[in-house]
Amino acid sequence: MNEELISIIVPVYNVEAYIHQCIKSIIEQSYKNLEIILVDDGSKDKSGKICDDYARKDKRIKVIHKKNGGLSDSRNAGITVATGKYIAFVDSDDWIEKNMYEKMYNECEKFGADICICGFFREYKDKTISECNFGERVYDTESALEELIKGRVIKDHAGTKLYKRFLWDNVEYPVGKVYEDIRTTYKIIQKSKMVCLLPDSMYHYRQRKGSIARSGFSEQKIEWLEAVKEMEANIKKNTSEYDEVLYKRIMEVECSLLREYFLYSTEEQLKKNYLLGKKIYLDIRKNRRIFWNRNTTKVFKLISLMSYFPMGVTAKIFKSNAMKQYIEKKYVYYV
């Protein structure tokens, strides 16, 4: 059987400490028919040179050197030059299992799917957590989109997916915006006819201090909520089928933001972001009944229940060690 070409796009920016592990995990894939596109986004360290060194040793590697434009701009640059039937993305501080693309390609061929999605590992300094809470499944467009909106089985992450190239025709990542995966993945799902799940964790997602996903509550983190609202507005333009699940996703993001506001803010940050926190708090209080069904996690039910209390009382409850430990143990990650 002839293996189709897979184009793997790797945006690179100031990651000389991690880039070797990333590139090696790609060039050592058991699936050999690869086009590896390294997009140096104006790195100020040795990352660009490291990319060039690998390209001299492996003819499958192409290097693009460009002016700094951000993650979305780098991915778009890679998509433009990609020639494979399939496209995949790996962030340059992450790495992948040796047989990842062999398994995902075989799943796509087996089911005739346009997208294959695998599980992933969250890699912390002191621990590794596998996130793969599904078996082998196949979804049509409508079911896949609903699961993406829910954010539990199908997540927005670009790195855990193998896409047919045609899905990216006339679709770009939003340059200058954060939470680019949330703003883009639903568009790709809408264009697909079949999505399959590979029930193995294959992608290693490095959790670095300073990344947006781990930065705690801030004005920038509000962009997470704005990204989900943007997705809601665009999906609603064409159908009202997902109105309830979209609204619930927005409320769950608000609960997550409130969790970060109370758990991870210093006294100074609590004061600085008080108005943002209060706005979210009052919105949860107003709409808390949406969480009272059997499909809602206990943590979100608990947060919605605490919205009955004055905000200061809730803050003290969140700060207690018992509450911190419980929420951290039970919390469902959406990014």
Angle, alpha carbons 208-210-212 (nearest 5°): 95
- The number of angstroms, rounded, from the C-alpha of 202 to the middle of its chain's C-alpha atoms is 14
Structure confidence by residue, pLDDT tens digits, 69-128: 999 999 999 999 999 999 999 999 999 999 999 999 999 999 999 999 999 999 999 999
- Report the pLDDT value the prediction gives residue 303, as an integer from 0 to 100: 80
pTM of the entire structure?
0.91
Report the alpha-carbon distance of residue 326 to residue 335 in Å, rounded.
20
Among 228, 221, 259, 258, which Cα is nearest to 149's?
A: 228
Residue 333 pLDDT greater than 80, yes or no = no
Write down the domain spans for the chain. 6-206, 215-330
Structure confidence by residue, pLDDT tens digits, 266-322: 788 888 888 988 999 998 888 877 776 666 677 777 887 888 888 888 888 887 877
Which residues in 302-318 are b (16+ Cβ under 10 Å) and which e?
A: bbbebbeeebeebbeeb
- Report the pLDDT value the prediction gives residue 256, as an integer from 0 to 100: 86
Radius of gyration, CA atoms only, the chain: 21
Q: Would you say 178 and 70 are in contact if contact means Cβ atoms under 8 Å apart?
A: no
**Which strand (E) or helix (H) includes residue 24?**
helix 19-27
Query: Beta strands 161-164 and 128-131: pairing type?
Result: unpaired
For domain 6-206, the CATH superfamily is Spore Coat Polysaccharide Biosynthesis Protein SpsA; Chain A (3.90.550.10)
Query: And the tokens for 268?
Result: 């100074």
Structure confidence by residue, pLDDT tens digits, 156-198: 999 999 999 999 999 999 999 999 999 999 999 999 999 999 9
% of the chain residues with pLDDT over 90: 67
Count other C-beta atoms under 10 Å from residue 294's C-beta.
Answer: 4
Q: Which of 28-32, 250-254, 258-262 bottoms out in mean pLDDT, i.e. has the lowest?
A: 258-262
Answer positive or negative: Cα dihedral of 49, 54, 56, 62. negative
- Report the pLDDT value the prediction gives residue 236, as an integer from 0 to 100: 96
- Report the pLDDT value the prediction gives residue 215, as an integer from 0 to 100: 55
Report the alpha-carbon distance of residue 146 to residue 120 in Å, rounded.
20
